[in-house]
Structure 1
Amino acid sequence: MDIKELKQEIIQYSKQIGIDKIGFASAVPFQTLKHQLKTQQDLGYQSGFEEPDIEKRTNPSLLLNEAHSIISIALAYPSKLKNAPKGTKEDRRGIFCRASWGIDYHDILRDRLNKLEKFISAKVPGVKTKSMVDTGELSDRAVAERAGIGFSGKNTAIITPEFGSYVYLGEMITNIPFEPDTPIEEMCGSCTKCMDACPTGALVQGGQLNSQKCIAYLTQTKGFLPDEFRDEIGNRIYGCDTCQTVCPINKKMDFHFHEEMEPDPEVVKPKLKPLLTISNRDFKEKFGPISGSWRGKKPIQRNAILALAHFKDKTAVLDLIELVEKDPRPVIRGTAAWAIGKIGTEHAKPFLLQAKEKEKDEEVLKEIDKGLMLLGG
């Protein structure tokens, strides 16, 4: 078997199946990443969604015996929403981040990696492979950086010269000893636009993110959102794109290569009020196919309440009152009570005082008091 020839055949085949960029890396342990992850862990900067075992995250040999190489793939996704619906004072809208537009990208990349695995297996019978996307043990970004897909920007995203940071990443560990590609030189220079624009200051320094303060992470949590971040969330109901949209390299980057990534405007920029009482069945039918639905409807509904409070949408107060009175979930009742105080109509104070007499949950009672404080006690 000629490994150089096989590499070229894989590159050619990757283009045929809709992989926009492919790179090859060594499977030696990621020692620099190991140090970085340990620092993140010590500082309490991790989100909790990642693989907790740092050894597994940094040593490919623990995931596949005889690991020699890692193949990294990237697929470019759209950054501009065609025919975007506009919100009105009566019908405010929320927004899902770009990485949640179209069909769940995990499924799209797994499809490409499965096809790549079958192609390689046909060429090399008995080959060992292990593929992963996002939720796997390895860091997609560290692999992509080593494989020359792009460089790691100050916003912690992989930035490619061709597509900016609007790329989905996946990788395959294999026992084939491919010649590794050369990493790309970092191009951020002295630019700090992403750090300056981050709404919560989550980008502690170039390339270091405090996930606990990152809006993309916060929108995915299921509990009460910490007070200091509620005004910063705006109308984001899943994820945050600020550190990408301000990046000069991303300017004019907008690619529509993959039909399954094309967003439904009514799904990714939905009306907020209907979200408050959407049934499980309707939620699954409308939002189930996108990646932003993975945590279920409760975080989306909580974020929709916060977005209505951000807009100070008085037309939503009756809907919020109904949530306080009838919703069985403390997070939803409490957030709605706070939002009523934030919006501040003439009926807000009498209602919250009445709700306080009936409510039994301690956390909800605290939120009612916060709402009353916003109304001046």
Structure 2
Amino acid sequence: MTPTDVKQKALKQRLKEEAAAIGIDKIGFASADPFVTMKERLTVQQQKGYASGFEKGSIAERTEPDLLLPEAKTILSIAVAYPSKLKDAPPSRKGSRRGVFCRASWGEDYHHVLRRKLEKLQAFIEAEIPGVRVRSMVDTGELSDRAAAIRSGIGWSGKNCAVITPEFGSYVYLGEMILDYAIEPDQPLESQCGTCNKCVDACPTGALIQGGQLDSSKCIAFLTQTKDMLPEQYRKKLGNRLYGCDTCQTVCPENKGMDHHHHEELEPEPEKVKPLLQSMLFLSNKEFKQTYGKMAGSWRGKKPIQRNAVLALGTLKEEAAVPDLQKVLLEDVRPVLRAAAAWSLGQIQTADAQHALHTASEKETDPMVEKEILEARMIGEE
């Protein structure tokens, strides 16, 4: 082993120890070479119309690290584990139905949590390697978090398109740092999915086309974040989800027994992550920001979440919600919310629900909402 190798090994060990001290659960290192295979896959995704539209940057920027940091040599990937089980979960009962935020939105917004950890790690690296140039990213950066994590040995690519780690399953947040300094890379892990296809079979909308390929436009996690009226075929599939979807993770055998509570800031507040559906309908912008603003699930604002709450009440046929749904239908200024309320009243189909639809039909002027009211009333006449 050369003196340079010894120096590199010692540096890598110090970085791992510092990362652990900062509260990073796993760290890996990879070369900053272009992600050729990922580039090909993303091109196919785009051609097939499977992209979500939330992706940042061009395909080249997402797969060529040196476009983001000139002379990039190393990608340092991190993983931070989050809880999968909610302690003291409030019950959802007839008359007091509850919605749910996915696990990735529990606790404080992970973007902020991981950025703080990366900033501390960057300061340590800059002290250890004078003159080094660094660029850090968490989820919203151009570089593919998953591709970087897989190459750096954090985990393997699951058939559910998540990175699955041996230690924490797929319940991890990912971040990365590009350096213009070479550090010995770690070895990628072999996939352990084998013939298991549970995630593909369990996907509520068939968004997992095959193992490792996702049609984002069908994915419930994506659909919960859209702002328009949901297509008819997806409304009941939403269930009581307000933001995100965990189905492809909860059925994964690699996640069995995985529930890690390492970070206080990521601990969920039961009433926030499983709120009463009717309590969501009339929140002001101020109230929404005060209550949910620090959660990752708030990033698209209250409209998608309120729409999802309205649809969930209809899917659950919650008769106690008819007065509130009528109020939304008659008074909400947003056509999407009125349309969702009309659909839900049509699902509930009590006399009061039909009366609300009839009353609204006499004053509604928006074509989309008029169509939903008409179709909802026709259900009752069948």
Q: Residue in 2 aligned with 1:175?
A: 180
Given candidates 117, 120, 126, the residue that maps to 1:121 is: 126
Q: Residue in 1 aligned with 2:212?
A: 207
Q: Residue in 2 aligned with 1:157?
A: 162
Could you report, residue by residue, the CA deviation over 1:14-56 in whole angstroms, capped at 9, with x for unpaired residues?
Answer: 0101000000000000000000000000000010000241000
- Mapped pair 1:104 → 2:109: yes
Output the CA distance in 2 between the equivalents of 1:351 and 1:92: 21
- Mapped pair 1:250 → 2:255: yes
Deviation of the 1:347 alpha carbon: 2.4
Given candidates 319, 324, 330, the residue that maps to 2:335 is: 330
- Mapped pair 1:65 → 2:70: yes
- Runs of 5+ unmatched residues, structure 2: none
Given candidates 289, 296, 301, the residue that maps to 2:301 is: 296
- Mapped pair 1:94 → 2:102: no
Q: Residue in 2 aligned with 1:355?
A: 360
Letter in 1 for 2:13: Q
Q: Residue in 1 aligned with 2:36?
A: 31
Q: Residue in 1 aligned with 2:202?
A: 197
TM-score by length of 1: 0.99
Q: Residue in 2 aligned with 1:376?
A: 381
Letter in 1 for 2:197: T
Identity across the alignment (%)? 60
Q: Which ranges of 4 or more aligned residues in structure 1 deviate by more than 6 Å?
A: none
Output the CA distance in 2 between the equivalents of 1:107 and 1:375: 48
Output the CA distance in 2 between the equivalents of 1:292 and 1:212: 18
Output the CA distance in 1 between the equivalents of 2:376 and 2:78: 48
Q: Residue in 1 aligned with 2:8?
A: 3
Output the CA distance in 2 between the equivalents of 1:254 and 1:376: 49
Output the CA distance in 2 between the equivalents of 1:227 and 1:17: 47
Output the CA distance in 2 between the equivalents of 1:350 and 1:166: 46
Output the CA distance in 1 between the equivalents of 2:99 and 2:170: 23
Output the CA distance in 1 between the equivalents of 2:127 and 2:355: 72
Output the CA distance in 2 between the equivalents of 1:217 and 1:127: 37
Given candidates 28, 31, 50, the residue that maps to 1:45 is: 50
Could you report, residue by residue, the CA deviation over 1:134-186 in whole angstroms, capped at 9, with x for unpaired residues?
Answer: 00001100000000000000000000001000000000000111111000000
Letter in 2 for 1:290: M
Q: Residue in 1 aligned with 2:135?
A: 130
Output the CA distance in 1 between the equivalents of 2:57 and 2:79: 25
Q: Indicate the SS of the match to 1:363.
A: helix
Q: Residue in 1 aligned with 2:281?
A: 276
Output the CA distance in 2 between the equivalents of 1:153 and 1:249: 10
Output the CA distance in 1 between the equivalents of 2:88 and 2:18: 34
Letter in 1 for 2:252: C
- Runs of 5+ unmatched residues, structure 1: none
Deviation of the 1:87 alpha carbon: 1.4
* Bigger mean CA offset, 366-375 vs 12-21: 366-375
Q: Indicate the SS of the match to 2:254.
A: helix
Letter in 2 for 1:303: N
Q: Indicate the SS of the match to 2:286.
A: helix
Q: Indicate the SS of the match to 2:237.
A: coil
Q: Indicate the SS of the match to 1:231.
A: helix
Q: Residue in 1 aligned with 2:245?
A: 240
- Mapped pair 1:231 → 2:236: yes
Q: Indicate the SS of the match to 1:201.
A: coil
Output the CA distance in 1 between the equivalents of 2:41 and 2:53: 16
Deviation of the 1:7 alpha carbon: 1.2
Output the CA distance in 1 between the equivalents of 2:356 and 2:112: 46
TM-score by length of 2: 0.97
Deviation of the 1:371 alpha carbon: 1.2
Given candidates 136, 146, 157, the residue that maps to 2:151 is: 146
RMSD: 0.9
Letter in 2 for 1:250: N
Output the CA distance in 2 between the equivalents of 1:34 and 1:61: 14
| Maintained 8 Å contact 2:220/2:245 | yes
Output the CA distance in 1 between the equivalents of 2:378 and 2:206: 26
Q: Residue in 2 aligned with 1:74?
A: 79
Given candidates 340, 346, 350, the residue that maps to 1:345 is: 350
Letter in 1 for 2:184: E
| Maintained 8 Å contact 2:322/2:352 | no
Deviation of the 1:350 alpha carbon: 3.2
Output the CA distance in 2 between the equivalents of 1:210 and 1:52: 19
Output the CA distance in 2 between the equivalents of 1:212 and 1:78: 27
Q: Indicate the SS of the match to 1:277.
A: coil
Output the CA distance in 2 between the equivalents of 1:130 and 1:46: 25
Could you report, residue by residue, the CA deviation over 1:320-351 in whole angstroms, capped at 9, with x for unpaired residues?
Answer: 00011110000001110111111111122333
Letter in 2 for 1:103: E
